[in-house]
Amino acid sequence: MRRVVVCAPRSEYFQVKNPESHNIGEAAERGKAIAQHRRLRAVLRSSGSRVINLREMAGHPNSVFARDAGLVTPDGYIKLRMGLKTRRGEEGWMASALDSLGVPCAGKIEKPGTIEGGDVILAGESAFVGLSERTNRSGVRQLSRFLTRMGIEVRTLSLPLPHLHIGGAMSVVGPRTVLCCRRIFPRGFLEGYEVVEIPCPEDASANVISLGGRSVIVEKGCPGTAQALRRAGYTVHLIDLSEFVKGRGGPTCLIMPVERKEAANKRE
């Protein structure tokens, strides 16, 4: 990644009066969470990424999970509409940040549609989209129209519980390779892609960050994922993100990719 947006926890993530309404499982330890996020940013920078660190949105503890608030495509960003009511408003916050970075707006999801960034996996000429408790059919139809105009094929899956977003069940780890949870995806859904499967018990998760060049970030609490990726020839950076797992997030939830090297090369 050349540019990536993050939102480090400072205050809002630690001021949750009603955890259930924000879908936060357990209060995070302030010092530990700040240190963990600092480590994540350091690894991103060491891989060659320019890291843009936004301030949290007031009253929105989940704004640290930057991925959900927007979607950056090869033609610009799509302003989403959050499915979790307590996160409504983060779409405009993220849109303003992307505007300031010079990213053009390529579309907007309108009522009654809802779609969150964690339910969209862009993989070259394909997009894997999850229908979930946060992303509804109207949102997927609207998104599909935007992506189809860009020449991107949309593949949609009704996501089984307990997965919150499709991003918890699969991640792109190479130009034509995906990491995914076993037995989640129907035959043909991942056609055309090499697949690294993991069983997704408690010690494994498909929520990882690809840094390019067969290098990935894996949450420290997922040794099964790290082992599978190493066997497949990947370099694994294990990072403790336990304080964000408490908020029901993983590595990819914490980043908004804005520009990837391969995309930049195509424009050049």
pLDDT in tens, 8-34: 999 999 999 899 999 999 999 999 999
Asked whether residue 267 is assigned to any structural domain, the reply reads no
Asked whether residue 268 is assigned to any structural domain, the reply reads no
Which domain covers residue 84, as residue numbers? 3-262
Asked whether residue 96 is assigned to any structural domain, the reply reads yes
Q: What is the mean pLDDT of residues 79-101?
A: 98
| CATH number of domain containing 96 | 3.75.10.10
CA angle 115, 121, 125 (to 5 degrees): 115
Alpha-helix runs per DSSP H in the chain: 30-46, 90-100, 137-149, 223-231, 242-245, 261-267
pTM for this predicted structure: 0.94
Query: Rounded distance, CA 216 to CA 230, Å?
Result: 10
pLDDT in tens, 180-192: 999 999 999 999 9
Asked whether residue 247 is assigned to any structural domain, the reply reads yes
Number of domains present in the structure of the chain: 1
Asked whether residue 64 is assigned to any structural domain, the reply reads yes
Asked whether residue 241 is assigned to any structural domain, the reply reads yes
Asked whether residue 229 is assigned to any structural domain, the reply reads yes
Asked whether residue 134 is assigned to any structural domain, the reply reads yes
